[in-house]
Amino acid sequence: KYCFFFLIDVVVSDCPCFQIVESGDTNHDGVLDFEEFTEYLRTNEKQLKLMFSSLDKNNDGEIDAAEIQLSLRSIGVNISVEDANRILLSMDKDGTRTIDWNEWRDYFLFNSLNNMEDVARYWKHSLILDIGEQLTVPDEFSEEEKKSGYVWRQLMAGAMAGSVSRTGTAPLDRLKVFRQVHGSTHFKGNVLSSFRYMVKEGGVQSLWRGNGINVLKIAPETAIKFTAYEQIKNVMRGGNETTNLRVHERFVAGSLAGAVAQTAIYPMEVLKTRLTLRKTGQYSGIADCAKQIIQREGVTAFYKGYIPNLLGIVPYAGIDLAVYETLKFAWLNRNRGLDPGVMVLVGCGAVSSTCGQLASYPLALIRTRMQAQATEKGAPKPSMLKLFHSIVTQEGVAGLYRGISPNLLKVIPAVSMSYVVYEYTRIVLGVDIEGRKRKKGKKKDG
């Protein structure tokens, strides 16, 4: 049944088949022949049978949502009933709301899983992709993953992926900021004419102004958000580690963690906006920009636009999470028994992020305009409401969405770059896409 043509003398390196080749290649020649593959299937099926039996607590030949939840809890992975049902739905081909042996075997046979920890990581499909906007809810990690250093390797992979994607889409990001601040004053044409204006003023390299600090703030923001998220979850659980948080509780914890992280790194956000908008020769670097802001406007200038930024977290995060969960659940309902796979989840994330941006964009625009305002010490500063009224009066409601087109244009390339870099970085760091530690495989020349 499972022995088809691609299995004769396959050469595989860093692809989803890598784990099968690594596990089944008994003579270590870098290829998997027919005999090795059939032996791999027999061995893997025995292992899967043992794991199925360990999950089937009442020995009725079927696994239900409660048994999934109980088994994962036993290895320190706490999930809600809703999450357990989603896992079950992804494997349940016949719609019985349970998983029998055949469904279990067909789902996992081509995945080299050795224990329940491997199964748990496979189910999680954890991704920390950066598209230049705030992440909604940080990933969930077991105690074992936290102690082993797996968490920080994964966060590092996410930070590196974010650095590449932000650098790759920096010209679009700079165009967005210019349109947000200047409205139609400088840019009356299309995207290309806007790029021509920026290149004429400062050369091609000017398209990447502000990207340096935009990349630098990824690491502290991610680390602070993750740490705050863990602490807030503990408070919400009342110190009881076995208590599971529901989706809306995770949303609240994630939003609060985002607020903490934004508060800590917000001066870097202001610097990023000023450096992005700077003219040729205005600042010599990040330190010079910070020095000039302090001298002319005072330390409080580093928190201009802080209130609309904070208010924007809730609609962005709420809609992002709601749309993501809805799309994922709809896919699982239409494709019973199939694993959504990484690209489906990335697609859901791109759509949900776009919806979140549309909802929170007016607040983001007002935040950017407030950040960009250079005022003398003691001079009156326009409030958020006054700025909102001014934009609507002078530019209409459409003025609240200035710069949204380049912002939406960068979503797909940013997600694509993040995914590719993230996957390969995890391999380099010793953690593959399911979270298992991996060794370098032999590769046959030719």
Query: Which residue, among 99, 101, 117, has the nearest Cα to 109 in the 3D structure?
Result: 101
Confidence at residue 442, expressed as pLDDT on a 0 to 100 scale: 40
Share of the chain above pLDDT 70, in %: 75
Query: Which residue, among 362, 403, 381, 10, has the nearest Cα to 181 in the 3D structure?
Result: 403
Confidence at residue 2, expressed as pLDDT on a 0 to 100 scale: 42
| pTM to 2 decimal places | 0.69
Confidence at residue 308, expressed as pLDDT on a 0 to 100 scale: 94
| 15-29 pLDDT tens trace | 445 666 666 677 777
Q: Is residue 438 part of a domain?
A: no
| 370-412 pLDDT tens trace | 999 875 555 567 789 999 999 999 889 999 999 898 888 888 8
Q: Is the pLDDT assigned to residue 103 strictly greater than 90?
A: no
Top pLDDT among 310 and 192 is at 310
Share of the chain above pLDDT 90, in %: 22
Q: Is residue 36 part of a domain?
A: yes
Domain of 229? 143-428
Pair 283, 311 in one domain:
yes
CATH number of 64's domain: 1.10.238.10
| 118-144 pLDDT tens trace | 666 556 544 444 555 554 555 566 666
| 235-246 pLDDT tens trace | 888 877 666 677
CATH number of 147's domain: 1.50.40.10
Confidence at residue 140, expressed as pLDDT on a 0 to 100 scale: 60
Pair 356, 389 in one domain:
yes
**Among 124, 159, 191, where does a domain finish?**
124
Q: Taken in order 392, 393, 398, 400, is the CA torsion positive or negative?
A: negative
Pair 100, 147 in one domain:
no
Domain count within the chain: 2
Top pLDDT among 301 and 87 is at 301
In this structure, of 41-55, 76-90, 188-202, 207-221, the range with the lowest mean pLDDT score is 76-90
Confidence at residue 216, expressed as pLDDT on a 0 to 100 scale: 93
Q: Is residue 15 part of a domain?
A: yes
Determine contact, residues 89/81, Cβ cutoff 8 Å.
no
Query: In whole numbers, what is the pLDDT of the chain averaged over residues?
Result: 78
- Please state the three-class secondary structure of 346-400 as a single string: HHHHHHHHHHHHHHHHHHHHHHHHHHHCCCCCCCCCCCHHHHHHHHHHHHCHHHH
d(CA 111, CA 394): 59
Query: Which residue, among 416, 417, 378, has the nearest Cα to 160 in the 3D structure?
Result: 417
Top pLDDT among 208 and 26 is at 208
pLDDT tier at 295 (50, 70, 90 boundaries)? very high
